[in-house]
Amino acid sequence: MPFFKRELLGTVEQREITSFAYIAINHLLGYSRSDCIINANQQLTSDTVTRLHQIIIDLKRNKPIQYILGKAYFYGLELKVNQHTLIPRPETEELVDWILKEDFESALDIGAGSGCISIALARNSQAKIYALDVSSNALKIARENAEKNQQNIHFIQQDIFKLNTLEAVDLIVSNPPYVLNTQKVNMNNNVLNFEPSLALFVDDKNPLAFYQKISELAFESLNINGKLFFEINEQFGKEIILILSQIGFVDIELKKDVNGKDRMIKSVKK
């Protein structure tokens, strides 16, 4: 712990330094926080010291700890992540929580990324789950994650803008790119320099293109009384509600995340 504080102080916040240290030690030695206290005077091997030094070097250049260790945790799952997949966020866990309150026998996750949503749904329901992404590299990771977590997901590589129809399902969920290019100036380097731009950013001139296209496809493909869930940019709640209502969706509900931001939308096809 003192080693991490000495090396990272002034680079990141104290709270983050402590968190990084415990995460790294757990990864390398399998120690919990209490184990770290009990074994505080343990002599580390030269290999462990070398690997800790490399973690410090990566942290200093703002590489996310999840990418350094190659894994992230989401909804009780351990998932492989790399530069081709977004790091799963807590607000997306809230979206999964909301979805799992529904009854559905089939679901499609559009923009699967690491597979976090689709695998969480498969693990916590009896539904048949499909997952679609344009990136072959992301789908490779998603397939590995599904296999590791012993979940059967039907993966599809496809660009939604080239589709006219989707699999007929009871529920569709998407966490599409929704960060404006102009918002980059407010973002940290650990996101800008390492997470995949393809999965994050949209053109300021047409920021709702994904929501428009997915909503149109969903309305044609959802079963009767099917549900469409989105994670959204808090700036565009009203605009997305308008898109959904104009297409024909009803019972539209805008939901705030734990931080009080408009972050999720649910709508129904009657």
pLDDT at 10: 82
CB atoms within 10 A of CB 159: 10
Judge if pTM exceeds 0.75.
yes
The full set of domain ranges for the chain reads 2-61, 82-269
Is 92 in contact with 203 (CB distance < 8 Å)?
A: no
- For the record, the structure tokens of 194 come out as 């390492």
CA-to-CA separations, 105 to 3, 8, 101, 126, 166, in angstroms, rounded: 51, 48, 13, 7, 16
Q: How is the beta sheet containing 106-110 ordered, strand by strand?
A: 153-157, 128-133, 106-110, 171-174, 226-231, 262-269, 250-256
* CATH number belonging to the domain at 82-269, selected among 3.40.50.150, 3.40.50.720, 2.60.120.10, 3.40.50.410: 3.40.50.150
pLDDT at 1: 67
| pLDDT tens, position by position, 193-204 | 999 988 899 988
Cα maximum dimension of the chain: 66
End-to-end Cα distance, the chain: 57
Residues (pLDDT < 70) of the chain are 1
CB atoms within 10 A of CB 219: 17
| pLDDT tens, position by position, 32-76 | 989 988 988 888 899 999 999 999 999 999 999 999 999 999 999
